[in-house]
A and B are shown apart, each in its own frame.
Chain A
Amino acid sequence: MLRVVSAAAIGLVFGIGIVVSGMANPAKVLNVFDVFGTWDPSLLVVMGSALVVTFVGYRFVLQRPAPTFDRKFHLPTKHDLDVPLIAGSALFGIGWGIAGFCPGGAIPALGSGQPSPLIFVAAMIGGIFSANALKAVLARREALA
């Protein structure tokens, strides 16, 4: 119970951070990339400060033997710089540049009750389903080869 409630509280803090910083607003997010137009560097400050806090916090947290509600830390295990990483990230950037929403911005924006984040998240979930189906097919083919 406490485990689930604390996750909701952490999600709320994350969402407040996104909303306060303006990162749920596509126009503001895209303006960080528009150096030759209506440039607004706010996103750089958001990412920079989030990164500093996380970097320092992780140094302390990851020295503990285990997290409070789990037996171990679940850290990514992949290390290779492969084609899916780079091609996928490149595609993500194109989609982000078109719509102005990234996943972390769009989910809190759902709470605004406006239609655009809802349309975006529905399409994004469609993309997640398709890509996972494709990944499963590719993995099966690789296993057979």
Chain B
Amino acid sequence: METSFTPIQALLGGSLIGSAAVALMALHGRVAGMTGILTGVVLPKGDWDWRLAFLLGAIMAPILILVLTGTSLPLQAELPAWAIVLGGLLVGVGVTFGGGCTSGHGVCGIARLSARSVVATLTFMATTFVTVFVVRHVLGGF
């Protein structure tokens, strides 16, 4: 499905994501990785309160935008439910063994010049690229 290149929104949104990552380190001393934050809520070991607050804040974002601007979140995921479940399971297992995802490794880890994060990011970007190619151009979609 076609989507248009939106550099201004991308730049603005990316800067907000980066600002949140800097603020979480400055105030809480934590990496803004969604995998680690979520895991600390569903499998709590000690401090889960700030993590749950972070998740709830993030979930509120589309609701706040809807209330303020009247625009609802465009969400195009025309997939059968089994594909979403399969994708979710693979992501959950993968980020647990890989120790992070796009936010933790891709943004925060690379910003710390962590070799692990650079390797992780190159690896998942490569397998995502191959998967998208196979699904869309070899299998012809789900």
Contact = CB atoms under 8 A, between A and B. Distances in A.
A50 interface: yes
Interface of B: 1-7, 9-32, 34-35, 38-39, 42-43, 49-51, 53-65, 72-79, 81, 83-99, 101-103, 105-112, 114-116, 119-121, 123-133, 135-137
A62 interface: yes
Interface in A62-112: 62, 64, 66-70, 72-76, 78-81, 84-105, 107-112
Given A19-B73, A58-B112, A97-B131, A11 B54 contact: yes
Which secondary structure dominates chain A's binding surface?
helix
10 contacts: A8-B54, A33-B131, A86-B120, A89-B98, A95-B90, A99-B91, A120-B85, A122-B88, A128-B96, A131-B97
The number of chain A residues touching the other chain, given as a range, is 35 or more
Nearest to B78: A27
A10 to B, nearest CB: 5
Contacts of A54: 18, 21-22, 107-108, 111
Of B79, B91, B127, chain A has the most CB atoms within 10 Å of the CB of B91
Given A11-B58, A46-B17, A52-B18, A61 B25 contact: yes
A14 B135 contact: no
A94 B1 CA distance: 19
Interface of A: 3-28, 30-31, 33-38, 40-43, 45-55, 57-58, 61-62, 64, 66-70, 72-76, 78-81, 84-105, 107-112, 114, 116-117, 119-132, 135
Contacts of A28: 3, 74, 76
